[in-house]
Amino acid sequence: MRRGVLLAALLALLCAVPLVTGNYQTYLAQLMMINIIAALGLNLLTGNCGQISLCHSSFMAIGAYTTSLLIVRMDASFALAVPVGTAIAAVLGACLGFPARRLSGLYLALVTLGFLELVQIGMEEFPDLTGGVRGLRVPKPELLGVQIRSDAALYYLVLALTALAVIAAHNVERSRFGRAFNAVRQSSYAAQALGIPLARMKLLAFSIAAGFGGLSGGLQAMVVGFIDPTEFGISTSLRQITFIVVGGLGSVLGSIIGAVLLTGLPELLRGAQEYSDLVYAAILLATLLFMPRGITGLLAAARLRGRKLLPAAKGSAQP
């Protein structure tokens, strides 16, 4: 009952954001939700399945460019372009996961880094298609024949898709696939002994993570209205990793907390934008050293400590 009331209150608060804030704050809230979607996918791959990926921003780029090109070049609607961009990102995630399914650790990180470089080169070397380094301007989306022009309408569209992504990630985490991901992360030998197909689970994790990344990239193209290769480089991938490490690996709530907090961080660094990557790196290192389970780990530990103290308090209160 309490959880339902809290969710209803949170939903009401989120729906009120465009009504009580300015255009820039609404835009920042949309970026937070886009990063939540990307972090959810990466957390399923890295936090749950234990597979390192340095190319999550590449799947965002694939979703962003596919969605944008369908809209700009083929005059497709938003309702068609975003699902197609998400599906293509998921398929390419499977293509990457197939050769990478037998790798782990440093070798897997190098393969994903190589994929990121290939995508970067592809975006820059085909300017007639992608706009190259000049970038590509993306118009406001059209949904069911209606042009979405206002920031508030676009906000509610992003909010609805973010809610669906959170529900989907939660369901995957609680499903037998999520339990198989956790088994693969904890011990590949034990997972094999239990009859879990390692290669298939890794391939599935890459596909799901890429799909989430493609969806977030397509939404980012719509919200920002402009895309270029620099938005999807290694810095973006490292920031996505920072989101899930700070929030908490293997946790949907951790993905949300990390994305929200660290998306708002640049607002505090306005006077030192050139040092933003250094600040993110310092936060990542400090979290790994002093808070390895992230913010959700601290919350879980505090909750457990409270449960232990409660019976002791009740016992001491008895005569």
**Torsion sign, CA atoms 283, 285, 287, 293:** positive
Contact 177, 197 (CB under 8 A): no
- Residue 318 reports pLDDT greater than 60: no
| Separation between Cα atoms, residue 57 and residue 216, nearest integer Å | 10
Orientation angle between helical segments 198-224 and 23-42, nearest 10 degrees: 170
For residue 314, name the pLDDT band (cuts at 50, 70, 90).
Answer: low
- Residue 272 reports pLDDT greater than 60: yes
- Residue 32 reports pLDDT greater than 80: yes
Q: What is the CA radius of gyration of the chain?
A: 21
The pLDDT value recorded for residue 311 is 59
Neighbour count for residue 105 (Cβ, 10 Å): 10
For residue 212, how far is the Cα from the chain centroid? 7
258 class by beta-carbon count within 10 Å (0-12 exposed, 13-18 middle, 19+ buried): buried
Arithmetic mean of pLDDT over the chain: 85
Contact 83, 243 (CB under 8 A): no
Summarize pLDDT for 49-105 with one digit per residue, the tens: 989 889 999 999 999 999 999 988 888 888 889 999 999 999 999 999 888 878 778
113 class by beta-carbon count within 10 Å (0-12 exposed, 13-18 middle, 19+ buried): middle
Q: What is the DSSP string of 284-307?
A: HHHHHHH-TTHHHHHHHHHHHHHH
The pLDDT value recorded for residue 67 is 92
Q: What percent of the chain is modeled with pLDDT above 70?
A: 91
Contact 207, 177 (CB under 8 A): no
The pLDDT value recorded for residue 145 is 66
| Separation between Cα atoms, residue 43 and residue 213, nearest integer Å | 11
CA distances from 259 to 35, 137, 139, 263 (A): 6, 26, 26, 6
3-state secondary structure of 248: coil
Q: In the block, which residue shows the tokens 């008895």?
A: 318
Strand segments (E) across the chain:
136-137, 142-143, 146-147, 226-227
304 class by beta-carbon count within 10 Å (0-12 exposed, 13-18 middle, 19+ buried): exposed
- Residue 167 reports pLDDT greater than 90: yes
In this structure, the dihedral spanned by the alpha carbons of residues 291, 296, 301 and 307, taken in order and rounded to 10 degrees, is 170
Q: In the block, which residue shows the tokens 């070798």?
A: 107
Q: In the block, which residue shows the tokens 């290192």?
A: 285
